[in-house]
């Protein structure tokens, strides 16, 4: 675990350094996040594995960690532009920089520990840190959104704690490497875990914090909330699922989340709320994939590839969308028009990322959703019909809204090149991951 420990040390150092000076923070945080991302990528590519008393690094936890640190890097770059626009911050902006690093640190910690109790503590830490980040702007709606988020997330984690207590009383351990749940205890733990950890994942009906938090949070923070926090919480539920194997209720939760999110997306007027419901939609797809994974050996890996592509694509959408909201002076989708004619890079980022998130080829989300749908058909055609309906509705909803903003005529939109390059680079990264996934499939490195 000697190498992986630096994944915790570097963000911690960045958080402490940021407290000394805002200017130093704006330089040191992107540098530290890039080093952390490079190290995590090297560990993942090199097949690094570790198992000690406290920490456990397998392929799934390293994928989540790598997602976290790369989105942390891109969010820190976007934050350089964001802090210049904050007129009346709730607190000194050096605290904002420190909290960004602490947010990444709490998620990395959650992904790498081996004990469900420590995972719960890590997620509780993410709630506190991210709530403070949401109120950076100091506006009334930010404070209200953060307050609602704190109440709902804390209530959810309280129920999650109950699932951990039941798991320990039944199995005598909380170490995910040795945790085995059977019978009624498995069902009970799974139900409480789906409600509790599912609140942080954004599953229906515990999803109501998502639009409030995203509608209020700074765009770089929204990118981290959607691209990294939700998958980190999902990893915790996966550990419980692997111990309990309760596929029925997991599949039901995923399908309901997918269907409800796709309907809510279609009726949205506000851009960031639309993207929040899109995140909910993708978590529903991922939960369905987890539920069906016992029936298909490669499906779980495809789910995590989907999470990686979603993280970069949704991060690009939130950052590009935040730039447009600021440039146009409106949060309403109907008032943003002709993006491609004014700012081509942002137009490309919006349209390609929307296609990526909703599962259009050649993005790996299409591959994952295709295998999920095919697996569902072999099990139960009615489940497959519901899943296919949700996927189709969400595809049409997000891309219809995206096309309305990207094409046509609108007022002139001017954005600094650097602000446009960040989401565009994230979109290209999602495409790169997708092409690599297809390469693995074609060469037999990933059998589907």
For the chain, how long is the longest CA-to-CA vector?
64
User: If you average pLDDT over every residue of the chain, what do you get?
Assistant: 91
- The total number of structural domains that make up the chain: 1
Is 122 inside any structural domain?
A: no
Q: How do residues 23-44 score in pLDDT, each as one tens digit?
A: 999 999 999 999 999 999 999 9
Whether the predicted pLDDT of 269 surpasses 80: yes
Pairing of the two strands 50-51 and 56-57: antiparallel
3-class DSSP assignment, residue 446: coil
Is 342 inside any structural domain?
A: yes
Instruction: Report, as an integer, the average pLDDT of 176-191.
Output: 91
> The dihedral of CA 350, 353, 357, 362: what is its sign?
positive
**Continuous H helices in 267-328:** 271-292, 299-328
Instruction: Report, as an integer, the average pLDDT of 355-375.
Output: 94
Q: At what angle do helices 299-328 and 59-85 cross, to 10 degrees?
A: 0
Q: How do residues 123-146 score in pLDDT, each as one tens digit?
A: 999 999 999 999 888 777 778 878
> What tokens appear for 133 in the block?
């980040």
Whether 210 and 146 have beta carbons less than 8 Å apart is answered as no
What CA–CA distance (Å, rounded) separates 104 from 347?
29
What CA–CA distance (Å, rounded) separates 232 from 202?
12
Whether the predicted pLDDT of 215 surpasses 80: no
Is 32 inside any structural domain?
A: no
Residue whose C-alpha is closest to residue 71's, from 274, 225, 236, 280: 225
What CA–CA distance (Å, rounded) separates 190 from 167?
9
Q: What is the pLDDT of residue 1?
A: 59
- 410, exposed or middle or buried, with CB in 10 Å at 0-12, 13-18, 19+? middle
**Rounded to two decimals, what is the model's pTM?**
0.95
User: What contacts 44, CB < 8 A, 6 or more positions away?
Assistant: 59, 62, 63, 65, 66
Which residues partner with 56 through β-bridges? Answer: 51
What count of other Cβ atoms lies within 10 Å of the Cβ of residue 445? 10
Is 430 inside any structural domain?
A: yes
Q: What is the pLDDT of residue 256?
A: 96
Instruction: Give residue 408's domain range.
Output: 264-271+293-448
Is 30 inside any structural domain?
A: no
Q: Using alpha carbons only, give the angle 392, 229, 401 rounded to the nearest 5 degrees.
A: 35
> What tokens appear for 438 in the block?
């297809």
What CA–CA distance (Å, rounded) separates 323 from 302?
31
**pLDDT-based confidence at residue 155 (cuts at 50, 70, 90):** very high
Burial profile 211-239: b = 16 or more Cβ within 10 angstroms, e = fewer: bbbbbbbbbbbbbbbbbbbbbbbbbbbbb
Which residues partner with 113 through β-bridges? Answer: 55
Is 233 inside any structural domain?
A: no
What CA–CA distance (Å, rounded) separates 345 from 219?
18
Is 20 inside any structural domain?
A: no
Instruction: Report, as an integer, the average pLDDT of 102-106.
Output: 97
Instruction: Report, as an integer, the average pLDDT of 56-63.
Output: 94
Whether 323 and 349 have beta carbons less than 8 Å apart is answered as no
- 183, exposed or middle or buried, with CB in 10 Å at 0-12, 13-18, 19+? exposed
What CA–CA distance (Å, rounded) separates 417 from 238?
40
3-class DSSP assignment, residue 115: strand
Is 366 inside any structural domain?
A: yes
Q: How do residues 61-84 score in pLDDT, each as one tens digit?
A: 999 999 999 999 999 999 999 988
What CA–CA distance (Å, rounded) separates 356 from 353?
5
> What tokens appear for 113 in the block?
């520990």
């Amino acid at each position: 675990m000697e190498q992986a420990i630096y994944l915790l040390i570097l963000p911690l150092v960045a958080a402490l350094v940021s407290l000394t000076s805002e200017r130093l923070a704006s330089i040191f945080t992107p540098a530290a996040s890039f080093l952390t991302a490079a190290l995590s990528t090297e560990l993942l590519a090199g097949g690094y594995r570790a198992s000690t008393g406290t920490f456990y690094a397998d392929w799934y936890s390293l994928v989540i960690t790598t997602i976290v640190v790369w989105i942390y890097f891109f969010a820190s770059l976007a934050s350089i532009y964001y802090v210049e626009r904050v007129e009346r911050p709730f607190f000194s902006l050096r605290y904002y920089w420190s909290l960004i690093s602490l947010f990444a640190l709490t998620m990395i910690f959650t992904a790498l520990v081996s004990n469900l109790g420590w995972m719960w503590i890590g997620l509780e830490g993410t709630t506190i840190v991210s709530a403070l980040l949401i109120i950076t702007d100091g506006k009334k709606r930010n404070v209200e959104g953060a307050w609602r988020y704190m109440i709902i997330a804390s209530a959810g984690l309280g129920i999650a704690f109950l699932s951990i207590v039941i798991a320990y009383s039944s199995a005598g351990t909380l170490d995910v490497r040795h945790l085995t749940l059977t019978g009624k205890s498995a069902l009970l733990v799974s139900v409480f875990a789906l409600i509790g950890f599912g609140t942080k994942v954004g599953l229906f009906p515990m999803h109501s914090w998502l639009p409030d938090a995203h509608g209020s949070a700074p765009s770089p923070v929204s990118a981290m909330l959607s691209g990294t926090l939700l998958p980190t919480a999902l990893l915790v539920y996966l550990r419980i699922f692997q111990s309990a194997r309760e596929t029925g209720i997991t599949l039901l939760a995923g399908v309901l989340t997918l269907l409800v999110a796709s309907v809510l997306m279609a009726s949205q007027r506000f851009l960031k709320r639309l993207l929040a419901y899109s995140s909910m939609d993708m978590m529903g797809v991922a939960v369905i994939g987890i539920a069906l994974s016992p029936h298909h050996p490669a499906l779980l890996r495809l789910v995590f590839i989907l999470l990686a592509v979603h993280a970069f694509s949704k991060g690009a959408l939130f950052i590009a969308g935040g730039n447009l909201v600021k440039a146009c002076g409106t949060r309403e989708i109907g008032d943003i028009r002709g993006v491609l004619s004014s700012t081509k890079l942002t137009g490309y980022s919006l349209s390609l990322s929307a296609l990526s998130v909703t599962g259009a080829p050649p993005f790996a989300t299409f591959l994952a959703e295709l295998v999920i749908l095919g697996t569902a058909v072999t099990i139960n055609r009615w489940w497959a019909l519901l899943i296919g309906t949700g996927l189709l509705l969400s595809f049409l909803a997000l891309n219809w809204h995206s096309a309305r903003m990207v094409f046509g005529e609108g007022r002139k939109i001017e954005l600094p090149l650097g602000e446009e390059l960040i989401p565009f680079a994230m979109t290209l990264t999602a495409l790169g991951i997708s092409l690599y996934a297809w390469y693995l499939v074609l060469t037999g490195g990933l059998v589907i």
